[in-house]
Each structure stands twice: as structure tokens, then as C-alpha cells.
Amino acid sequence: MMDCWRLDPNPLLIDIHLCNMSSTYDFLASDSAENGAGIQSQSYVPVAYNDAELLDAYSRAVVTAAEKVSPSVVKIDVTQRVASRRGEREAHGGGSGFIFTPDGLILTNSHVVHGATRIEVSLNDGRQLLASTIGDDPATDLAVIRIDGPGLVPVPLGDSQQLRVGQLVIAIGNPFGFQYTVTAGVVSALGRSLRSQSGRLIDDVIQTDAALNPGNSGGPLVTSDGRVVGVNTATIMMAQGLCFAIGINTAKFVASRLLRDGRIRRSYIGIEAQTAPLHRRLVRFHDLPAETGVVVLSVENNSPAAQAGLREGDLIISMAGRPVAGIDDLHRLLSDLPSGMRTEVAILRRTEKLTVSLVPQEPAES
């Protein structure tokens, strides 16, 4: 079996600046006229740039983007009821967000507002307004809340698929309560995956070295033209320059579903499972596309999996004709499959390959 290497489709863009150059280069260009004229000499003088001019251009890009987006960035303060040994008590937290419609819809992180009993939003002009939750999705760590007020300024949304590694990006938020803090950096990598608090993978995550700190969560990641391309969400503790944002294309999809349904509808089959390796002999004998699958650890009573006859120890290797190499593949498929539609699932039971038919359902609590 040949090894397949996947090439990154996003080319690295490098701007090369020639600084403090004063020399003149002469190039010869041939002029093939009908009368056989000889070679003419042309002179080329490169434009000289100095560091100050380049830094001024960089500063202007950051300043322009920050001034354009800052009126739409909000500070979010939340109150939650949490259980403790002495009973329930109030806990306070917060984060950032940004207005993306004129009627006061705000996009932020799910972990900022999930379970909040009170949400207060502070605007750039000093106003403080109460907000209500439209919906939140812990699986993608995104949420939509709403405020009512005049003169709200929405921020333009960009296209995260057009980002390139090395591109300038600016993060705006409220780290540690310091309002409207701006940091700048570049896109370090694209197509990362980040595990959410629900255990599911968030795909197409943007990695950047623009500094993020607690309180930046939910704030916008913008390009130099002032368009939002990501929702800041996480950093890796004890690491420098490893910060992540959810692509705005994912956020657009999630926000539209939250506005329509108040939640993201995902199917479930009622099993507890984990990724497990497959024996090489089984992989070769059944000509399987992957050397791993999903092993069923337990099956819920009266669940779709139980009704289909799945048992503890079964190995799921495909669903709806698509290979399942791990638990994350299964999560993605269940997110895409509509509930109530009969689906074929290929499994390995001991050494035998079987196909069972089950009907994924929407869980009672969503």
C-alpha cells in the first residue's frame, strides 16, 4: 500500500521588501526591429524603502482595522449559579463579543455565556445593556446573544477560506477586564482541530500568534481591511504564540442554525465508544481503508444502537458508506446525518464483517 502525503493547499505568501537600496541596475533588452537594429540599453532604478516607511504602513493597517472594528466589539459580564458544598452561589465571569447585525445580534463563545442567569453588555460608547441568549452550541464553542438599543454598529464579516498563512490579523477584546485591547500577529497555520468542552472536535480552526488572554474569548479576529475572519476562543497555557480562533465561515453556519432553531440539531445512536486499533490481518482480509475504528464500550437501553442490535465489543468501521477511523469521524457523521433517516453501519464482530441498519435520533436533551 502506497503512502499518501497530503500537501497543504494554502501557499505561503511572502512579501519581500528591499530596504535601503541605492544601487542602480542596468539591464539590456533586445529590440528586434525589421531593419535589424542593434541592442538598446535600458536603465532600471528600484524604489528605495526604509524601515520607518514599512513600520508606518504596518501601523496604519493595524490602526485602521482597529478603528473600524472597535465600535462593534463589546465586553460581556455574566452571572451564573454554581453548586458548592454550602449550596448554590453566584459566580461572575466575562469575555468579549462583537455585533454582527444592526438589530443587536452578538456573536461570542459558548463557554462565556453558557448557563448564565444574567448577561450585561458594555458597548464602546460606554452604554451598558442587558442581553438575552438566542442559543449556544458547546460543540463548536459558539453562542449568539441579543441586545436592544439604538445606534448599534455591526462589523463586516469576511471569508475564512480566503486566509493565507503569514497574513496579518488583529485580535480585539477585553483581556482581564481591560476593555478594547488590540493585539496583532499573523496567521500561523490553518485547518487546525480543537477539542471543545463537549468532547467534539472543532474543525478548520485558525492558529495565530496574536496574543490572547482570558477575557479575549469571543472577540473578533480581523484582517487588515477590518473584516472578521475568526472568533477568538482559546490559548495553550504555558505556551507563547499559540492562540486559536474559530473560522468565521463555521460561525456563520452555526449562527444561522441558532437563529432558526435556538440550537444545533445533531443525531445520536446511544453508545459509549472510543477509537481502537484494528488487527492487521482483519484490515488486509476485509480490505479496510483504515487501521483503526470505533469500539463500542456500552449500549444504552432502547437507543437506536440497541434496536439495531449493536453489542459491546463491536467495531464500527463505516457509516452511510463513509469510513469511520475514529470517534471524531463518528461525531462528524452524526452532525451531518439527519435524524430519523435509516443508515447502514458496517461493523466487525470478532472476525466477521456485518452490516446493520439503524435510525439515528435527536437526543431528548439538546
Across-strand partners of 132? 146
Q: What's the CA gap between 110 and 112, in Å, rounded?
A: 5
Task: Give the contacts of 210 (CB within 8 A, at least 6 positions apart).
Answer: 169, 170, 171, 183, 184, 185, 186, 221, 243
Q: Where are the alpha helices (H) located in 280-344, listed in sequence order?
A: 280-285, 304-308, 327-336
* Annotation says 366 is catalytic: no
Q: Where are the beta strands (DSSP E) in the chain?
A: 25-29, 40-44, 73-84, 87-99, 105-108, 116-122, 128-137, 142-146, 168-173, 181-195, 201-208, 220-223, 228-235, 243-247, 271-277, 292-299, 315-319, 322-323, 343-349, 352-358
482597529: which residue's cell?
66
Across-strand partners of 29? 40
* Annotation says 3 is catalytic: no
* DSSP conformation class of 322: E
Catalytic annotation, pick one of 72, 188, 196, 217 = 217
Catalytic annotation, pick one of 77, 136, 137, 141 = 141
Q: Up-side HSE of residue 118: CA atoms within 13 Å toward CB?
A: 9
* Annotation says 267 is catalytic: no
Positions marked catalytic: 111, 141, 217
